[in-house]
Amino acid sequence: MGSNIDYSASLEKCEWADSKLHDLHSKLLRWFHESDRSIVTKEDGDVLHVVAQLSLPIPKTVAMETVEIAGHLRSALDKLLVAVVESNGRGSSGVGFPFGGMGEDGKAEPFPSARQDRLKKKLTPEQWALILAQKPYPGGNDALWALNEIANQDKHRKDLVAVGTFGRPRQIRAIGHDERATYVLSVGTPDPVPSCCDQKRECIMFSLGIGEGTSLPEIKIEPPITTSVVFGNVRGLTGKDVVGTLHKQLTLTQRIIELFKSPL
């Protein structure tokens, strides 16, 4: 499609996003190394909560860097279509990569919508079909659609990122005692995680039903559950790993550019 099209602006944005993502990953690895993690139990009546605790808060710049990386990738897609439209001899004012919307009721809006007709008229049928094939709307290619959702976030939001736990343990071995005896409680796989930490840097990984008056001062999870930085209160992304999501979006963006570079 595009041997005569200059894709350099899009590729530069991808390279910049890749570099920033590498820096973000390194920063989070240092933070995890420096932050002490522990697992404690907290009783709530006849329910025992197994809680992960971290000693250090997420670095303040993580949210800003996350939004910045997503912004670079969305800009790469915008610049891609600007180059394509201009190669078609059409004006590029207002041109951007189309993303599907979601209504206040949480339901996906029709895609493509009437507001995208202007872009459609500036592209060849093959180019437009290629965009539609990417399914950039909720319920289609969710990772691609979420790119726009992240880029639109307020980078100063306190709940944009959180600490989450991942894993599905085969066994929880809890050593406890009551008034009569000491015993070992072994339970099967709990409900799946992830779950997100609150402002106290604690997160309930799962809960167990126990008899009243029972205490479990020691607990071991096999295999251990992994902690990671995840999206907090972000529509469609809550609980998803930040670095993993951004890396997938980088790969998707690079793939779309390569598709446009290939002849149809």
Measured CA to CA, the distance from residue 161 to residue 138 in angstroms comes to 21
pLDDT tens, residue by residue, 169-191: 544 555 554 444 443 444 444 44
Q: Would residue 187 count as lying in a domain?
A: yes
Q: Would residue 1 count as lying in a domain?
A: no
132 three-class SS: helix
Matching residue, tokens 């993502």: 21
Residue 104, C-beta contacts closer than 8 angstroms, at least 6 positions apart = none
Q: Would residue 2 count as lying in a domain?
A: no
β strands within the chain, DSSP E: 37-44, 47-54, 161-166, 171-177, 182-187, 202-209, 215-222, 226-231
71 three-class SS: helix
Q: Please say if the pLDDT value at position 16 is more than 90.
A: yes
Q: Please say if the pLDDT value at position 212 is more than 70.
A: no
**Edge to edge, what strands does the sheet with 171-177 contain?**
182-187, 171-177, 215-222
Measured CA to CA, the distance from residue 23 to residue 111 in angstroms comes to 35
Q: Would residue 120 count as lying in a domain?
A: yes
Q: Would residue 3 count as lying in a domain?
A: no
State how far Cα 143 lies from the chain centre. 8
Cis, bond preceding 112 (omega within 30 deg of 0): yes
Domain, as residue range, for 72: 8-261
With bands split at pLDDT 50, 70 and 90, how would you rate the model's confidence at 36? Answer: confident
Q: Would residue 22 count as lying in a domain?
A: yes
Q: Per-residue b/e over 251-260, b at no fewer than 16 CB within 10 Å?
A: ebbbebbebb
Measured CA to CA, the distance from residue 160 to residue 238 in angstroms comes to 9
Question: In sequence order, what DSSP letters do the residues of 16-35 get, joined into one string?
Answer: HHHHHHHHHHHHHHHHHHHS
Measured CA to CA in angstroms, residue 215 lies from 179, 186, 245 at distances of 10, 14, 39
Better-scored residue on pLDDT, 27 or 227? 27
Residue 203 pLDDT: 66
Measured CA to CA, the distance from residue 5 to residue 173 in angstroms comes to 61
Q: Would residue 221 count as lying in a domain?
A: yes
Q: Are 153 and 160 in contact (CB under 8 A)?
A: yes
- The DSSP bridge partners found for residue 218 are 175
Work out how many domains the chain is built from and give that number.
Answer: 1
Letter for the amino acid at 142?
D
Mean pLDDT, the chain, rounded, equals 80
pTM: 0.79
pLDDT tens, residue by residue, 214-244: 555 555 555 455 667 888 878 788 888 899 9
Letter for the amino acid at 42?
K
Closest of 67, 259, 261 to residue 146, by C-alpha: 67
Residue 181 pLDDT: 42
